[in-house]
Amino acid sequence: MENRRMKVGFVGLGNMGQAMASNLLKGGHELLVWNRSPAPVQKLVALGAKAATDPQQAFDVDVVFSMLADDQALRSVLLDSGLLKTLKAPLIHVNMATIAVAFAQELAGLHQAQGVAYIAAPVMGRPDVAASANLNILAAGPAAAIAQVQPLFDLIGRKTWPLGEQASSANVMKLAVNFMLASAIESMGEAAVLVGAYGIESAQLIDLISNSIFPGPVYQGYGALIAERRYEPAAFKASLGLKDVGLALAAAERVSVALPMAQLVHESLLDAQAHDEGHMDLAVLGQVAERRAKRG
């Protein structure tokens, strides 16, 4: 596919999906959108998209993107419904969700059996980054299929990182990144409690590190949320962080790799969930660290 007008489907219109779908529209492509709840669909229809009556219609296109919440949601829409068994080439399915490595491998095999190209393309970036089309896209799958959808990737991301023909490689990389992100936030939260115990404002710590040895969006962005104890509204929910760190641990177990830090971060996220903080931003790990210090 050259830079021509394509018929594109998009399934799963959460905060990230909505932003990406709206940027695809800016490329002048015909876009069919589907979501379980109708409100996000109507927002995109107002921008020029067409509402698909069901996922089947959204998959009756040249390229379909899926951005569903988790393994269970994707399995329900694609496998349990029997939808995948109806798909045919030359459709290309681009799955942008962060899913388990084992499930990614299963999906790649099932698509191959159908003769349908499957690309795993999870993204790095929060909803504001998605809205500005500055996502980093981790893409793995058939090289020819990736080349065909690259014009669409260019509409939603600032860079595509090719990770080979094995689709699950993109999911491994995304889980590794999210594990590192959660670990960085965990360490910031603990360090903020430490300086606070000595009468130093946590904002001073964040200002110091983000303008010296740890510049960049993780320490500046999440650090500010920790310093201000501002955990809502969430751009990246702690419950999703818990899911992703859990998936990283599962992936590690499959290849006998120990991730002791991931175990600790997972326990902290379980603590947040137990205190009804799963809906809050991942930065709530700072609050978990405070609570742990008081218990100690």
Give the active site residues.
174
Q: Which residue has the tokens 């710590």?
A: 205
Q: What is the identity of the amino acid at 293?
A: A
Angle between helices 238-254 and 260-274 (to 10 degrees): 150
Neighbouring CB atoms inside 10 A of 139's CB total 26
80 exposure class (CB count in 10 Å sphere: 0-12, 13-18, 19+): exposed
Q: What is the identity of the amino acid at 107?
A: L
Positive or negative: CA dihedral 35, 37, 40, 42: positive
Q: Which residue has the tokens 């500046």?
A: 220
| Contact criterion met (CB below 8 Å) for 64 and 58 | yes
Q: Where would I find the H helices in the chain?
A: 15-25, 38-47, 55-58, 71-74, 101-114, 127-131, 143-156, 168-197, 202-210, 217, 223-228, 238-254, 260-274, 285-295
**φ and ψ at residue 217, rounded to 5 degrees:** -65, -30
What size, in residues, is the chain?
296
The Cα 116–Cα 129 span in angstroms is: 30
Strand partners, 118: 93
Query: Which residues 6+ apart lie within 8 Å of 81 measured at CB?
Result: 55
